């Protein structure tokens, strides 16, 4: 009621308890910040339409839907890797620890390192359990531990202490992988020794806290150190160049023998290429919009899709856009369906390349150099396709950029199919300089000649036949 | 039976009028009839617009000059609009049943559009000219929807 | 000064002359509307950086730059058609008639019909010269006339009378092709018998007047009637379907023998797929922004690029976008360079398909059915590539949509190259239903097996060998 409203607006919160670096229990924080705590807890809510029934024996009442069932081309692409066995839609933060503990990817025969916890648990609590005196050392220990052991030390999913300084409530970065990653990235922009906890603006932090997890990553060496591949920049191309330069691959694709990469949720990197990022619109603006709570506005800690319902669209999009909720929904649907249609075509191209290489290996009569070239193209095509389907906005975070990745997938996959047949096509850098047009003789007229005679020397040869002595085409994806 | 329904009906009207009276009075609904932008600001719901207005290009133009029919030339429309808006604002404010980002209703938007011409009629006389007989043809807000108070 | 301002503003214009349906001379209109007339005349201005030197004997002091020189892949693609000989950047409306009269495409050996004038001259004047009593009959006559004769009747480029009703100054449609086209398109939206001059809103008209010319078109039959292919809708796919359904092609590509289409400046159709169109932002908003002239504001009739200079960016973009001029310029550059990079890759794919087909025909040992299938893919790839490079905003009018067309080009061209080798790849419609993943045996583990054994029957066969008895692959682009 109004009397209460008027009171609320003058006193936003009471300092009920003193919070410290060992206030691991979010309920403690909730005494000072009930609105944020309550909405944070609501990440356990899940619309019935998104729920799936867990297999027999699973302790969960419901889980998220399978992405493998929705598009089994994922299964083909991931042959030789744990993802081919189980991969689901993401859901609320409340489930991150549980869903990780129960996924088949951490069960035998698969083995995972403690590193996995970086993004699925309240890490300060884990490090404290390992060694309260030496967080850096504890982190190294956690990374190398078998997952099954490490996860026993974890008690909560991401919680207040992971994102906030208990003394000032300021946002802060708690993950070493991000500190290193953003330092490397800022260096490419000419900014040396960037430290997000000292140098970042408040607005940057509103994306950085999310970018500790919603990013592409790999585990480096035997130490299983979590690393973000940002040394060359944040694009998909930059990441591929980085992995190529260090000779890294996640697994050997078992159908083709290609050494391939796994791309995971590059939400932050993709957002960074879009127009929202360019205009300083952050993850928190859309996924944690300000919500009227009586007379004050608080950040909605029920992190979720801004399209969840009309009220959510109103809170997030309509802060900046003067359109109706229905119009904003329509915009998102148009972008996502354009992406979906195009990325399905590129997925076919990748799938067909994989089957082709498998068939060529089975046939046994194909030039091994051609196979090697095709595998090299598969590496690119597969990383890019994985990149775009693992990104969680289905094209929305950067619509044009996402489509440029899709276009590259098709080109790489189809070039791979041609390479497998001995055909290497050039890439035109500057058409005005390094390209000569092919012209028909005689000179063209409006009425085209009935039997055109191609003039230039026909390259490449159609259907080259394999002979082990033939010069090997160079593999240069 | 019929009498019973009438009784309920009468009761409902009474309760409604009572709530109206309370909310309208308590929530300062009468402020709506004033011309001073500060009266709009009495509701925190209007803070965002007020703050942006105070920094904007139209800070010399009162809220009402855009959001109400011109008082002197259209006294009846003015009164009706004030009563309508005053009532709804008070009710929504009291019940809290309004979204985080409030949206202008269509008829109020139409009203704002017409008010632009009260001040800028001359400036836009040429561009309005091809459609001189239908004011609604050029929608100022398509390009200038942030003049009153940027979001 | 103030007194003068006030006078100007209360009397926006003096009705100096009475305008009628035979006021063909824009200078007459200029007496009533000096501001619009002066800016209209300024379309003859051309920045020095965009000027090229005409060939010897050409009456023009300067002309626009050659697009063929900037990207000679156009020359290869257009073998067999007049465009391969000359194709330039567009420039101001003042030049439309002259540039058409002097382009090599209307000189022998090429023959063009009077239809060409629809978009390059003030048409009411031409029709009046043919038959002042019967505009419809005069239009039919003009279309069929040889261009060389018809153009003698034209005196002005597009002028006031083409876009405005002389009595009311309201915008109006003067081109029958648009009246028919928009009627067909609106019918696909469930609106029957739409007549733009009666049913369109003022805001629609602000794009419709431009859409009389800035659209993809073809000349129908011997009557050479100008027609817009909008029966199925406004997308590139819709246009291709339309042409396929009536069995139309513009020319036979002389290198490959494929029956192909020419796409011309689909500026309106592309804009219609973008977010600006969805928000009612029209061509006039960006290309004819309001400009302050004394005490009144008028539409800038110097139709040109909104990026011409800072002042222009300010007038057009900054009305709605509260960023700086430099930021808006940056946005456009990002969009255009993403488009440029991707569309260059797709152009390579098309170019390589063309060379492949030419080589296959020259070699003479390739299954004719495979060649036919490849030609069919060329038709699609070439139409789409032409569509995206002939559109004049280099991706800006609908960034994501433009990239989806580019992605389709690569897919079609590369499928064509495969078809030429006897390989027909399926298209997955609903992966959840009509797709079976290929799985490796044994079951995958994190450590991938050293020698994977592909299980599923390998399809398709690598390097099929031509034998005339082999079953022909179906050509289904
Ligand atoms: Ca990865
Ligand atoms: Ca055409």
Contact list in C for residue A329 (CB cut-off 8 A) is none
* Contact status of A5 with chain B (Cβ, < 8 Å): yes
Q: pLDDT tens digits for C137-148?
A: 999 999 999 999
User: Domains plus CATH for chain B?
Assistant: 2-143 (1.10.3820.10)
User: Which pLDDT score is estimated for C448?
Assistant: 42
Point out the residue among A341, A361, A454 whose CB comes nearest to the CB of C454. A361
Residue C393 CA to ligand 2 centre (angstroms): 18
**Which H or E run contains C196?**
helix C196-199
**Which H or E run contains B66?**
helix B63-67
Interatomic CA distance for residues B8 and B10, integer angstroms: 5
10-residue mean pLDDT series, chain B (151 residues):
43 43 46 70 86 89 89 79 82 84 90 88 74 56 88 64
Torsion, CA A101, CA A105, CA A106, CA A107, rounded to 10: 110
Residue A8 CB-density burial (10 A; 0-12 exposed, 13-18 middle, 19+ buried): middle
CA distances from B119 to A194, A410, B70, C5 (A): 52, 57, 11, 15
Point out the residue among B27, B100, B103 whose CB comes nearest to the CB of A291. B100
Mutation site for B-interface testing, chosen from C34, C168, C276, C279 by largest number of B Cβ within 10 Å: C168
What is the percentage of chain C residues whose pLDDT exceeds 70?
90
Interatomic CA distance for residues A266 and A271, integer angstroms: 8
The contacts of residue A450 (CB under 8 Å, 6+ apart) are none
Interatomic CA distance for residues B101 and A322, integer angstroms: 10
Which residue from C minimizes the CA distance to B130?
C170
Q: pLDDT tens digits for C396-405?
A: 999 999 999 9
Q: How confident is the model at residue C457 (pLDDT cuts 50, 70, 90)?
A: very low
User: Which pLDDT score is estimated for B128?
Assistant: 67
Point out the residue among C168, C170, C290 whose CB comes nearest to the CB of B127. C290
Q: pLDDT tens digits for C279-317?
A: 999 999 999 999 988 888 999 999 999 999 999 999 999
User: Cα A425 from chain centroid?
Assistant: 31
10-residue mean pLDDT series, chain A (477 residues):
44 75 96 96 97 96 98 98 98 98 96 97 97 96 97 97 96 98 98 98 98 98 97 98 98 98 98 97 97 86 97 95 94 98 98 97 94 98 98 98 98 97 95 94 49 39 41 41
Neighbours of chain B (3+ CB pairs under 8 A): A, C
Torsion angles phi and psi, residue C96, rounded to 5: -55, -40
More confident residue, C117 or A295: C117
Average pLDDT, chain C: 91
The ligand that comes nearest to the alpha carbon of residue A249 is: 1
User: Which pLDDT score is estimated for A294?
Assistant: 76
Beta bridge partner(s), residue C146: C113
User: Which pLDDT score is estimated for A414?
Assistant: 97
Of A326, A347, A338, A303, the C-alpha closest to A214 is: A303
Nearest-CA distance from B99 to chain A in Å?
7
The pLDDT of residue C463 is above 50: no
User: Which pLDDT score is estimated for A26?
Assistant: 97
User: Which pLDDT score is estimated for A464?
Assistant: 43
User: Which pLDDT score is estimated for C151?
Assistant: 97
User: Which pLDDT score is estimated for C109?
Assistant: 93
Which residue from A minimizes the CA distance to C432?
A70
| CB within 8 Å: B126 and C298 | yes
More confident residue, A380 or C202: A380
User: Are the C-beta atoms of residues A391 and A266 closer than 8 Å to each other?
Assistant: yes
Interatomic CA distance for residues C80 and C86, integer angstroms: 13
Residue A442 CA to ligand 2 centre (angstroms): 24
User: What single string gives the DSSP state of each residue in C291-346?
Assistant: EEETTEEEE--S---TTSSHHHHHHHGGGT--S-HHHHHHHHHHHHHHHHHHHHHH
User: Are the C-beta atoms of residues A126 and A154 closer than 8 Å to each other?
Assistant: yes
Q: Looking at chain B from residue 108 to 137, which residues have their Cβ under 8 Å from any Cβ of chain C?
A: 122-127, 129-131, 137
| CB within 8 Å: A400 and C404 | no
Q: Which residue reads 């932008």 in tokens?
A: B37
Tell me which residues have their CB within 5 A of the ion that is ligand 1.
A 218, 262, 264
More confident residue, A241 or C170: A241
Interatomic CA distance for residues C181 and C164, integer angstroms: 20
Lowest mean pLDDT among B87-101, C214-228, C325-339: B87-101
Interatomic CA distance for residues C443 and A440, integer angstroms: 55
Point out the residue among A2, A311, A322 whose CB comes nearest to the CB of B26. A2
| CB within 8 Å: A318 and B27 | no
| CB within 8 Å: C76 and A448 | no
User: Which pLDDT score is estimated for C22?
Assistant: 95
User: Which pLDDT score is estimated for A447?
Assistant: 45
User: Which pLDDT score is estimated for A475?
Assistant: 39
Torsion angles phi and psi, residue A344, rounded to 5: -75, -40
The pLDDT of residue C332 is above 90: yes
SS (H, E, C) chain A: CHHHHHHHHHCCCCCCCCCCCCCCCHHHHHHHCHHHHHHHHHHHCCCHHHEECCCCCCCCCCEECEHHHHCCHHHHHCCCCHHHCCCECCCCHHHHHHHHHHCHHHCCCCCCEHHHHHHCCCHHHHHHHHCCCCHHHHHHHHHHCEHHHHHHHCCCCCCHHHHECCCCCCECCCCHHHHHHHHHHHHHCCCCCCCHHHHCCHHHHHHHHHHCCCCCCEEECCCCEEECCCCCCCCHHHHHHHHHHHCCCCEECCCCCCEECCCCCCHHHHHCCCHHHHCCCCHHHHHCCEEEECCEEEECCCCCCCCCCHHHHHHHHHHCCCCCHHHHHHHHHHHHHHHHHHHHHHHHHHHHHHHHHHHHHHHCCCCHHHHHHHHHHHHHHHHHHHHHHHCCCCCCCCHHHHHHHHHHHHHHHHHHHHHCCCCCCCCCCCCCCCCCCCCEECCCCCCCCCCCEECCCCCCCCCCCCCCCCCCCCCCC
More confident residue, A281 or C456: A281
Contact list in A for residue B96 (CB cut-off 8 A) is 5, 294
Residue A312 CA to ligand 1 centre (angstroms): 31
Torsion, CA C366, CA C369, CA C371, CA C375, rounded to 10: 180
Beta bridge partner(s), residue C63: C52
User: Which pLDDT score is estimated for B33?
Assistant: 54
Point out the residue among C69, C111, C415 whose CB comes nearest to the CB of A446. C111
Which residue from A minimizes the CA distance to C410?
A411
Contact list in C for residue B143 (CB cut-off 8 A) is 285, 319-320
Q: pLDDT tens digits for C233-269?
A: 999 999 999 999 999 999 999 999 999 999 999 999 9
Contact list in C for residue B130 (CB cut-off 8 A) is 164, 168-171, 202
Point out the residue among B44, B94, B103 whose CB comes nearest to the CB of A295. B44
Which residue from B minimizes the CA distance to C281?
B142
Q: B-C interface: how many C-beta pairs under 8 angstroms?
A: 51
User: Which pLDDT score is estimated for A159?
Assistant: 97
Q: Looking at chain C from residue 160 to 189, which residues have their Cβ under 8 Å from any Cβ of chain B?
A: 164, 168-171
| CB within 8 Å: B151 and A319 | yes
| CB within 8 Å: C203 and B123 | no
Interatomic CA distance for residues A248 and A229, integer angstroms: 11
* Contact status of B48 with chain C (Cβ, < 8 Å): no
| CB within 8 Å: B94 and A322 | no
Residue C348 CA to ligand 2 centre (angstroms): 22
Mutation site for C-interface testing, chosen from A452, A455, A465 by largest number of C Cβ within 10 Å: A452
Point out the residue among A5, A290, A320 whose CB comes nearest to the CB of B100. A290
User: Are the C-beta atoms of residues C165 and C172 closer than 8 Å to each other?
Assistant: yes
Mutation site for C-interface testing, chosen from B52, B55, B116, B130 by largest number of C Cβ within 10 Å: B130
User: Residue C354 is encoded by which pair of tokens?
Assistant: 């063309």
Q: Which residue reads 């030039």 in tokens?
A: A367
| CB within 8 Å: B125 and C322 | no
Torsion angles phi and psi, residue C63, rounded to 5: -140, -175
ipTM for the assembly? 0.90
Which of helix, strand or coil describes residue C232? coil
Interatomic CA distance for residues C227 and A433, integer angstroms: 38
Q: Which residue reads 């069919």 in tokens?
A: C376
Which residue from C minimizes the CA distance to B132?
C168
| CB within 8 Å: C72 and A436 | yes
Of B124, B122, B150, B120, the C-alpha closest to B137 is: B124
């Amino acid at each position: 009621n109004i009397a209460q409203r008027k009171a609320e607006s003058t006193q936003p919160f009471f300092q009920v308890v003193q919070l410290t670096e060992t206030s691991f229990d979010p309920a403690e924080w909730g005494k000072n910040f009930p609105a944020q705590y309550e909405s944070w807890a609501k990440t356990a809510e899940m619309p019935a339409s998104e729920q799936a029934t867990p297999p027999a024996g699973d302790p969960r009442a419901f889980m998220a839907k399978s992405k493998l069932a929705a598009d089994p081309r994922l299964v083909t692409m991931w042959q030789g890797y744990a993802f081919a066995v189980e991969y689901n839609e993401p859901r609320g933060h409340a489930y991150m620890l549980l869903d990780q503990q129960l996924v088949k990817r951490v069960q035998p025969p698969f083995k995972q390192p403690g590193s996995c916890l970086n993004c699925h648990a309240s890490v300060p609590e884990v490090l404290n359990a390992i060694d309260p005196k030496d967080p850096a050392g504890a982190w190294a220990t956690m990374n190398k531990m078998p997952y099954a052991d490490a996860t026993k030390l974890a008690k909560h999913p991401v919680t207040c202490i992971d994102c906030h300084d208990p003394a000032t409530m300021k946002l802060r970065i708690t993950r070493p992988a991000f500190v290193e990653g953003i330092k490397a990235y800022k260096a490419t922009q000419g900014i040396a020794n960037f430290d997000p906890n000292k140098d970042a603006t408040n607005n940057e932090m509103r994306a950085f806290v999310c970018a500790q997890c919603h990013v592409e990553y790999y585990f480096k060496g035997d130490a299983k150190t979590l690393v973000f591949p940002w040394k060359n920049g944040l694009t998909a191309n930059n990441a591929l160049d980085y992995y190529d330069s260090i000779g890294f691959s996640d697994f050997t694709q078992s159908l083709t023998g290609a050494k391939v990469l796994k791309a995971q949720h590059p939400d932050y990197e993709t957002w960074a290429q879009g127009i929202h990022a360019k205009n300083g619109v952050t993850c928190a603006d859309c996924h944690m919009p300000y919500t009227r709570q009586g007379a004050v506005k608080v950040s909605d800690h029920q992190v979720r899709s801004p399209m969840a319902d009309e009220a959510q669209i109103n809170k997030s999009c309509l802060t900046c856009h003067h359109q109706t909720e229905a119009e904003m929904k329509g915009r998102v649907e148009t972008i996502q369906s354009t992406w979906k249609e195009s990325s399905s075509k590129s997925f076919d191209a990748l799938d067909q390349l994989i089957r082709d290489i498998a068939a060529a290996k089975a046939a046994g009569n194909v030039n091994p150099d051609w196979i090697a070239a095709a595998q090299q193209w598969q590496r690119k095509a597969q990383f890019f396709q994985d990149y775009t389907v693992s990104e969680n906005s289905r094209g929305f975070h950067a619509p044009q950029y996402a489509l440029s990745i899709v276009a590259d997938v098709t080109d790489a996959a189809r070039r791979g199919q041609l390479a497998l047949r001995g055909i290497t096509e050039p890439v035109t850098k500057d058409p005005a300089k390094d390209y000569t047009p092919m012209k028909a003789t005689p000179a063209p007229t409006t009425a085209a000649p009935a039997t055109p005679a191609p003039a230039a020397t026909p390259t490449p040869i159609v259907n080259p036949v394999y002979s082990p002595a033939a010069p090997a085409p160079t593999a240069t994806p | 039976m019929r009498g019973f329904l009438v009784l309920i009906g009468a009761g409902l009207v009474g309760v409604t009028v009572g709530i109206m009276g309370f909310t309208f009075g308590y929530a300062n609904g009468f402020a709506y009839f004033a011309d001073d932008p500060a009266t709009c600001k009495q509701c925190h719901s209007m803070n965002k617009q007020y703050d942006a207005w105070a920094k904007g290009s139209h800070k010399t133009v009162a809220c009402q000059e855009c959001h109400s029919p011109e008082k002197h030339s259209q006294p009846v429309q003015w009164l009706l609009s004030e009563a309508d808006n005053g009532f709804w604002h008070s009710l929504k404010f009291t019940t809290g049943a309004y979204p985080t980002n409030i949206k202008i209703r269509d008829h109020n938007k139409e009203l704002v559009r017409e008010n632009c011409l009260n001040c800028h009629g001359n400036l836009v006389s040429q561009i309005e000219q091809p459609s001189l007989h239908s004011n609604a043809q050029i929608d100022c807000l398509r390009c200038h929807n942030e003049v009153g108070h940027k979001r």
